[in-house]
Structures are given as C-alpha cells and as structure tokens.
Chain A
Amino acid sequence: MAAATVAPAPEKTRKSLRAGEGRRGILLVAPTLVMLAVVILYPLVRAVIQSFQKDEGLNPATGMFVQGGYAGLSNYSHWLLQQCAVAGGGTQPCPEGTLGSQFWGAFGITVFWTVVSVGIEVILGLWFATIMNREFRGRGLVRAAILVPWAIPTAVTAKLWFFIYAYDGVLNHILGFAGIPPQLWTSDTWPARMGVVIADVWKTTPFMALLILAGLQLISKDVYEAAEVDGASRWQVFTQITLPLIKVPLMVAVLFRVLDVMRIFDLPYIMTGGANGTTSLSILVVKQIRQGFNSASALSTIVFIIIALTAFVFVKFLGADVIQRPPGYTKRKWFRRKPPEASQSVEATPEGAEAA
C-alpha cells in the first residue's frame, strides 16, 4: 500500500494496476482458501485440541462414561514413552496387549517398509522405465503389461496377495512342485512383513516407472549422441547423463512414494489385519479410534508431524522439486512474487504489498 505513494511516477500506473490485480487475485483464491481452511485447517486444529483432552473415563458409581478433562501432555507421553495408566493413578510401562506398547514397533515397521519398498521400487522403476523408453516392436504391449498392477485398486491387490499367500494358496502350490513344504507366509513376523513389501512393490513399481519414464522422455537424443561421439561407456552415460537429468522427477516420485508408505494402511490391514508385527502407524490410529478419540488424535498428530518433517526434508534438502523449474530459474528466492525474468519490478516491490 505504502509502496504506491513512494514509487516514482512512471511506475505508479503499473503499481495501482497490480494492486488491483492483487485484490482481485485474493478474491479469486478466497473460495479455495475457505475450502482449505474447512477441510484441512479445522480438522487439524481440532485434532490438536482434542489431543490435549483425556479420553472419557467410567464413573464407577453410575457405570456411565464421563468427560476425561484436561490431559496435558499425557496422551503424547502415552505414545512416545509408552506409559500406561494403572488403577489408582500413576503410570507404568505399557504391558503387551495395549496399543500403547505398540507405538515404537509400529513406527519401526513403517520406516522399514518405507526404506525397503521405496528402495526396491526405485531400482525396478528405473529398469522398467529404461525398457519402456526403448524403441522396439511390441513396446505398447510391454508398457501396458507393466502398468496393469497400478490400475488395480490397492484393496483388491491386498486381497489378491492374501489368497496367494494363503496356506492352500497359489504360492505354496507352486512351491509344492519344487518339493518345498507349505509355508505360513502371513503368519510369521518376517514373512508377513516381507509379504507386504512384495505386494507393495508389485503394485507401485509401475507408478515409479511412469514418473521416471516421463523424465527420460524429456532428455534430448542429442546429449546421448554427443556422449557416444565422446566415447562414453554405458555406465558413464547412465551416471553422468541419465541420472542427473532425471533427478528431479525421480525425487518427486520418491517423495510421493515415501509419503504413501509412511501412512500405509489398506495393504497390511487387509492382508494380515495388523497381526505378526505388521501394524503400521495408520493401523494403530484406526485401532485406537475404537478405544478413545482423544488419544487417537494425539497419535495422528504425531504421525502428521513425522510425515510433514519427512516431506520438508525431501523438499528442502533432497531437491524434490514438486514443480519443474523453468529454464533460467535462479535458486531459492522464496519470498518473491514475480518470476526472475521480471526481476527489476520485483526488486521495487516491497514485502508489504504481499500483505495487502
């Protein structure tokens, strides 16, 4: 606002024009902002407020539930320090059979799945994308075949693998031909965990491959031809040309997948119901909802913070650019309103205009 009066005359018309644009712009985005506030901000704030309330307790005289009152940080210490209430006040380490005792286990297995699944998916995805990027007869068919698992809903995928892993299932049947006795795939801890990894990799590698393929197709053939002329080996071409040029789409794909796996729910829930060390953080939240909302709110707030931090690390430090930079883009001008091409007028715009 103040900028308009301070600015020199020739700039004035442009400024006021832009101020008007800004106001109209705010009007135009207002419905979206309201929508976001309703569907994102409200539940978020509500959950945080709830997480500081105790769950309802039983009034021993009437046998009826009563409000639990202010909880302080006890809902958070319940999860993070695994402290459970004991009859008559005080806390003890949560015994087996409580959800509180499962938090760090669930956290560990969620991180394990994230690292292992996404790791395998990156390698396979790169490989598939390279295949799909080549020119050969029947390429359409190969592409379609690779993409089929991605087209199947996760719930169906989970049920599918549930039947494959069953004691009388396909996998044991096939192993039977090789003389291997039937195994209980979803009943022991590590087979069940790896079962989830396999199903997840099967389903989402195509997604990874697709995003990488999009990156590969942007690389001009000239670069490869130049490399060939210079006598680069295939490994050099891959590490020096392909990888750097697909880094951005690759990191975006990895970011999406990491966030996906960190809140994984349907796959393990349908395959094992969370048994045998396959309770992910999201499954734990849903189980806790049936036992008390406020404690569940604390848990989902913790999960939210974990995921938000992960996303932040990816975007800030690992260069997962969710939007491709235009050519000539200069780095890290976070608070500018205009692209650098028009840098002069941007320089003249004080920060205050943004608030107007």
Chain B
Amino acid sequence: MANQWRRGRLLTGVAAVAVASLTLAGCGGGSSSGGGSSSGNSRGPITFVTGKDNSGVWAPMIAKWNKAHPKEKVTLKEQTDQADQQHDDIVQHMQAKDPGYDIVTVDVIWTAEFAAKGWLQPLTGQYKFDTNGFLPPTVKAATYNNTLYAAPWASDGGLLYYRKDLVKTPPKTLDQMWNDCKIAKQHNMSCYAGQFAKYEGLTVNATEAMNTFGGQVVDSAGKPTVNSPQNQKGLQMLVDHVKNGDIPKQESTFQEEQGRIAFEAGKFLFMRNWPYCYSLASTEGSSKVKGKFAVAPLPGVNGPGASSLGGHSEAISTYSDHKQTALDFLKYITAPAQQKFIAMKGSLAPVRASLYDDPALIKKLPYLPTLKTAIANAVPRPVTPFYPAVTTAIEDNAFAALWQGKPVSAALSDMQKAMQSASSGS
C-alpha cells in the first residue's frame, strides 16, 4: 500500500508541476493564418468587446443603438481593465475562430499583429469605412499594409504639464525646456518627470524622443531602422539629462501614476503625461498644484515634438457572422454626436478633428486645443506585427542606456539586431 501511495503521490506531484508549467503552452498554437468565412446575410445581433468601461460611455451609447435597431441588438462584453489581459483574451477567442466576438476593441499597438494574423476584416469594398475628418495619425495607426483594418474610436497623446506659476511661458523647444530646469533648481524641485521604468511607457517615452529628432523605429514597410543618427541624438538627449539630474534617479521606477503623484506633490517642474492627469491634478484633494499648472504640446527641436499616439480602434472580426451590422455600429460610434458624447461624459479624446474646436467641449476639457496639436503631430508607435518583440527590444535597451550606463550606440545597435531577429523567426 505504502509503495503505491508513494508512487502515486510522487506522480501526482510531478504531474501537478507539469500542469502548472505546461497548461500555459498547451492553450497556444493552432492555425491562425487562414481567413474566416463570411456568410451571405450579414445582419443580426452582435457582440461588442471592450476593456472594462471605466468611463461609463458604452452602456448609454449601446442602449440608444438597441432602441433604434431592435433586430440588430448589440451586446456589450467587458474584459478586464488590464491591457495585456485584453490582448490575450482577444487572441484566444480569435484562435478559436469564435463568431461570438463580432467587434473587438484594439489598442493602437495591436492592430498590425491582429491584421497580419488574418483576424480583422479589412474595411474595404462592401465594408468600406470613411475616415474623412478623422485626425490623420489615428487613421495611420489603424492601417496595416496600406489597408484600413479598424475604425479609430478614441485617441490619446502626450502633453507637457508645466507649473505656470514658476514658468512664465511654456517651452516651445527642447533646449528651452532643459534650460528652464534651472528654475526647478532654484525652487529645490526636480525638473522633468516622464515614464522611465522598464515597461511599455518607456517605449512611449523613448520613441517620442527619437521621433522628435526625426528618427523612426521601423520604416513604412515594417523593416527595423532604429539604428540611425537621429535616434542616436534622441536617446542621447535623455541619457544626458539623466546624468545631469534633470531626470532624477528615482524615475527608473516611474510609471504614469508615480509621475502624476510626484507632480501633484509639487516635486516636479515639468511632467510628460496623458490628458487624464488634468482633471485629477485640478481636483484631487491631495494635489498641491491646483490652479498652478497648465499644459502645452511636448517640445520638439524647433516646434512641437512628436508625441506617441495612444488610444483605441474598433475592428470587425473575420469570424463575425453579422459584419454589415458591425460596420453600421462602427459608423454610429464614430459619428460626431457619439464622439462628442464620449468626450463630454468620459473625457476621452475624440478622433474627429472638428470636435477639438467645439466651444462646449473646450469649456469642459480646457486642454483640448493643446491635445489637438499633440495628436496632429503624433507618430504612431511602430506599426509592426511583431510589436511585442519590438517593444521589448526598445524597453530593455533604452533602460540599459538610461540607467545602467550602456553606451547609446550599443543600445541602438542591439535594438536593431533584436528587432531583426524577431522579424525573421526565432
């Protein structure tokens, strides 16, 4: 008895470990290169998939649609509010060719990957989607291989928050901004807060610096071109200002929230962050900078810098049975009325240029004109189906250059090699 038990338990123990380490791998795989089947009559009820609706805009918009379209009702499926988990959730459903995911909400950085896997319905031919009046970078981010794969829905861009009580006029160029760091020193503050921890935010900040000097990460055909003199200048600038303390050492742990909290505590003169900080810094009880800050476009070499583009697009699944309804719904949620609604109700940045001049909206969101400049000058993060590998290459090497003394030229050369290796298979 004891023997059998012993062996049984040992097997179970080993097996449990096996399960733990392998179920992860087991759920992967499968064919994903094929296109889906589209059926003839493509109208009917659909499911709309999006991350957790923290801004509360979807329920009312969908209710309104369902009232008008009783036969083509939309069901809302909320995922978690973690981007990585949303990504993985979509991947799993698409691999299972699930017709139950009719419209999926795609972060701008996933578009190319999902499109290249054949999961997204190209918005051409009978599914043509008109992007007239949209901010051009938002359309560019939803485009892969010269084909539009998703409808831009909400945008986002980086802004420069500055202390207007200490800096009279916001810096227009990078030189002016770094020069203003002496004001920070006089007031015993740090100068510039960005996102420099090793995570996606570092890719955003590093590519902003590189794009601002005219460099790119991948060219229009998706080939890595990161090892360029322009990128060298951009990354070197960040490294120099880490060295002279304008970007203090604790920023190696800074994500958006750490920066915001430090800026609200009055510890920084400048902060690069997304628009969501605006209302928090103006209203939150713990904010010491209420009424003392303003926003400006990110500074560039001679004028506005190149912000990274954030935001989400909405794409129709190849496996959807009701694509025509899905397309109508995309047109509905990107129409001016709905776009104004998401800005008013959810403080989201619309994708239609005209709304940024709407007086009612500007009253509610005073940073809109600045954000318009930011998004108009924004560069989408590298549009490549290998985005996860590309962002790892940027994060790891930029982090090593900023905080671990790796020479900038070596960092860029490794970035380039790592990206090339990713796009030619492991």
Indicate whether A and B interact: yes
CA distance A329 to B6 in the complex (A): 12
CA distance A189 to B24 in the complex (A): 28
When the two chains form their complex, are residues B33 and A65 in contact, meaning their CB atoms are under 8 A apart? yes
CA distance A58 to B118 in the complex (A): 12
When the two chains form their complex, are residues A297 and B29 in contact, meaning their CB atoms are under 8 A apart? yes
Residues of B contacting A84 in the complex (Cβ-Cβ under 8 angstroms): 417-418, 421, 426
Q: How far is the CB of A353 from chain B (nearest CB, A)?
A: 14
Of B14, B118, B425, which contacts A68 at CB under 8 A? B425
Q: How far is the CB of A254 from chain B (nearest CB, A)?
A: 13
- Report A84-121 residues with CB < 8 Å from chain B CB: 84-89, 92, 94-100
When the two chains form their complex, are residues A287 and B392 in contact, meaning their CB atoms are under 8 A apart? yes
When the two chains form their complex, are residues A65 and B116 in contact, meaning their CB atoms are under 8 A apart? yes
- Report B2-54 residues with CB < 8 Å from chain A CB: 2-7, 9-10, 13-15, 17-29, 31-33
CA distance A307 to B18 in the complex (A): 9
- Write the chain A residue with the least CB distance to B113: A65
If A46-B29, A99-B392 touch, does A167 touch B24 (CB 8 Å cutoff)?
Answer: no
When the two chains form their complex, are residues A290 and B414 in contact, meaning their CB atoms are under 8 A apart? no
B217 at the interface (CB under 8 A from A): no
B180 at the interface (CB under 8 A from A): no
When the two chains form their complex, are residues A43 and B397 in contact, meaning their CB atoms are under 8 A apart? no
When the two chains form their complex, are residues B198 and A273 in contact, meaning their CB atoms are under 8 A apart? yes
CA distance A294 to B25 in the complex (A): 8
Residues of A contacting B252 in the complex (Cβ-Cβ under 8 angstroms): 184, 187
CA distance A329 to B115 in the complex (A): 64
Interface size class for chain A? 35 or more
When the two chains form their complex, are residues B19 and A275 in contact, meaning their CB atoms are under 8 A apart? no
When the two chains form their complex, are residues B1 and A322 in contact, meaning their CB atoms are under 8 A apart? no
Q: How far is the CB of B183 from chain A (nearest CB, A)?
A: 23
Of the stretches A13-21, A34-42, A150-158, the one at the interface is: A34-42
CA distance A87 to B416 in the complex (A): 11
CA distance A87 to B419 in the complex (A): 10
When the two chains form their complex, are residues A50 and B19 in contact, meaning their CB atoms are under 8 A apart? no
When the two chains form their complex, are residues B425 and A54 in contact, meaning their CB atoms are under 8 A apart? yes
What is the predominant secondary structure among interface residues of chain B facing chain A? helix
A196 at the interface (CB under 8 A from B): no
B389 at the interface (CB under 8 A from A): yes
- Report B272-314 residues with CB < 8 Å from chain A CB: none
Residues of A contacting B250 in the complex (Cβ-Cβ under 8 angstroms): 167, 182, 184, 187
B179 at the interface (CB under 8 A from A): no
Residues of B contacting A85 in the complex (Cβ-Cβ under 8 angstroms): 421, 424-426
When the two chains form their complex, are residues A311 and B253 in contact, meaning their CB atoms are under 8 A apart? no
If A287-B392, A292-B426, A339-B2 touch, does A97 touch B33 (CB 8 Å cutoff)?
Answer: no
When the two chains form their complex, are residues B26 and A322 in contact, meaning their CB atoms are under 8 A apart? no
User: 27 A-B residue contacts at CB 8 Å?
Assistant: A40-B19, A43-B19, A46-B26, A50-B28, A54-B425, A62-B145, A63-B144, A75-B426, A88-B424, A95-B417, A96-B414, A97-B392, A100-B426, A184-B253, A259-B13, A285-B21, A291-B388, A291-B392, A291-B422, A296-B25, A297-B28, A303-B21, A304-B18, A304-B21, A321-B6, A322-B13, A337-B4
A residues in contact (CB < 8 Å) with B: 36, 39-40, 42-44, 46-47, 50-51, 53-58, 62-68, 74-75, 78, 84-89, 92, 94-100, 166-168, 182, 184, 186-187, 255, 259, 263, 273, 275-276, 282, 285-287, 289-297, 300-301, 303-304, 307-308, 311-312, 315, 321-323, 325-326, 329, 333-334, 336-339
